Amino acid sequence: MSELSSVAWDFDSPIYPKTASSPSVHNHFSPDLQAERDHCAYGTGSFLQDGYTNLTIDVHLNWLFLPWHRMFVYFHEKILQKLLGDPEFSLHFWNFDNSVTATPRHGSRGCYFKAGHFVPPMYNDPSKATFEANRSIRAFDPNRAVDYVDYVYNWNPLMVPPAWPNNTVEEQTRMKREVMHRSMITLANTTNFIGKTYRVGDAQILIPAVGAGTIELVPHNTLHAWIGGWMLQPITAPIDPLLYPFHANMERLWSVWRKLGYGNDDPTDPDWLDATFLFWDENAVMRRVKVRDFLDLNALRYRYEKVNDASWIFFDNSTSPSAP
């Protein structure tokens, strides 16, 4: 069983076990190209629905967002394992939702939870394969916390990127804890969290607030906008290596939501469970997979390292940035 671990846990630990000079992990190596094609095909309205000449398919802004991106990250990791000759290789996740460094409540041999609210330095180091220059200048400021607060929650990628306030780290920490609590708990019943139903014969949803689930709106859409550059558009986002630990954390948040209780269960609608997609696997074999195949993390043979989710789970609307 491989483990997805937090990139914020140890910034000195490289995400890829090869050096920047290795052609198999260069920014524009073939897995990125294949990922770009997959994301473009399913995420930009490029496919027509069977039997229709004017209805397209898009996995964004509806209930397909979370399961499709889990598939996307899963197959990307499998391809990397094959290229690296390392079946134990695993992608990290970037725990951008954890804005407070803290000691676990029950301790664990002196370990502590490290906040992930800055872009990990390994993604801003030009000497590493994980570097990408085409981002907003915000993302390269080592003292500026990432911002995914929802003053731009209804931002559309087809529009001009929004303006961002220059908040202090303390202000940003409090606001991010609040919006995470809202997206994951306060507003996150199954319908709101997963997103609007999207069936054969439905038109592609174009307005984020109409169809996106709570965490697709915030922090997903807003953080894409804040990072900027390639990440602004679905067709180019896979070029940036930061996309993969970003989305690995989005899939982790889905698993956290399911464990929170409150009746947080995945949909049981056959139209969701049997939604089917095509992906190339690590052996260049086209795989036809269904949503129901990607709901059990044990079956997928990975788990997530624990991080400081308590920082937003127990948010009390206080002005203090401290957390449990």
Q: Which residue has better confidence, 197 or 34?
A: 197
Strand partners, 286: 280
Q: Do 145 and 169 touch, CB atoms closer than 8 A?
A: yes
Mean pLDDT, the chain, integer:
82
Reading the block at residue 136, the tokens are 């907003």
Q: Do 211 and 134 touch, CB atoms closer than 8 A?
A: no
Strand partners, 92: 5
Cα–Cα distance measured from residue 125 to residue 130, given in angstroms and rounded to the nearest whole number: 8
All structural domains of the chain with their residue ranges: 2-313
pLDDT of res. 170? 87
DSSP H helical ranges for the chain? 30-43, 65-84, 169-181, 190-194, 208-211, 214-215, 222-227, 243-259, 270-273, 297-300, 310-313
**pLDDT tens string 52-67:** 889 999 999 999 999 9
pLDDT bin (cut points 50, 70, 90) of residue 3 is very low
> Residue written as tokens 């970037």?
94
Please state, for a pLDDT cut of 90, what percent of the chain lies above it: 54
Reading the block at residue 159, the tokens are 């529009």
pLDDT of res. 70? 97
Cα–Cα distance measured from residue 127 to residue 223, given in angstroms and rounded to the nearest whole number: 25
In order of 134, 208, 295, the CA distances from 227 in angstroms are: 9, 18, 29
Cα–Cα distance measured from residue 47 to residue 50, given in angstroms and rounded to the nearest whole number: 9
**pLDDT tens string 237-269:** 999 999 999 999 999 999 999 999 888 999 999
300 has a pLDDT exceeding 70: yes
**Which one of 3.40.190.10, 1.10.1280.10, 3.90.470.10, 3.30.70.330 gives the CATH number of domain 2-313?**
1.10.1280.10
Gyration radius (Cα) of the chain, Å: 19
